[in-house]
Amino acid sequence: MTCIKSQIIALMILTALLTGCQDKKLPYIGEPDVVRKMVDGKKVEETIYPTIPEFSFQNQNGETVTGRSFEGKIYVADFFFTTCPTICPPMKKNLLKVYNLYQTNPEVGILSHTIDPEHDTVAVLKKYADDLGVKGTMWQFVTGDRNKIYEIGEKHYMVSAREDSTEAGGYIHSGHFVLIDKNKHIRGMYDGTTEEGTQLLIEDIKVLLKE
């Protein structure tokens, strides 16, 4: 009887865990605006969360990448530079796990912005991608105007991305992976230097794909 009760309790716990995963809703990150308007003669409030604005950069294949390149996609954004001696190598190792899981899924993308565009030319980014074993367009490594890269990083993705002569390599940038939904909202931020943060990101991508 005790054994049967234990099995029933274990089944209940498993069911609760599975139900919790299915019902999980990711938050919207960023300070929202509250818009008041009239609908059918009644005052209503609508919460508007910030979105990633339109952008234009150049990828490792010399192609222009814009916000429209990610229409209908969930994507993971991060900031790095190819000569980074500290957190970039583990971050890219962890992003490879995401790439390997989702590279054939047309609804998922990865967007890595260099913060050292003078050094990280198209040719340098191409070699960097090739050395990682990245093929196709699922994972875009982009370069462009330095100020625009820093602006979109710090004002819109809400991560640090700038020059800093006191830091190793001469730059400071966040170790976070930023998860963007199909409507360009930030839905999660994860420690990209850790296995735990990367696994949580992978699980939350699954949640967004079911939304």
3 in any annotated domain: no
Across the beta sheet with 186-191, the strand order is: 64-66, 56-59, 139-143, 108-114, 74-80, 176-180, 186-191
> Is the per-residue pLDDT at 20 higher than 60?
no
What's the CATH number where 132 sits? 3.40.30.10
Distance CA 151, CA 54 (A): 12
39 in any annotated domain: no
Q: What pLDDT score was predicted for residue 122? A: 98
| Owning domain of residue 153 | 55-209
36 in any annotated domain: no
184 in any annotated domain: yes
**Residue-wise pLDDT tens digits, 114-173:** 999 999 999 999 999 999 999 999 999 999 999 999 999 999 999 988 887 777 778 888
pTM of the model: 0.84
2 in any annotated domain: no
1 in any annotated domain: no
If one counts the domains in the chain, the total is 1
49 in any annotated domain: no
161 in any annotated domain: yes
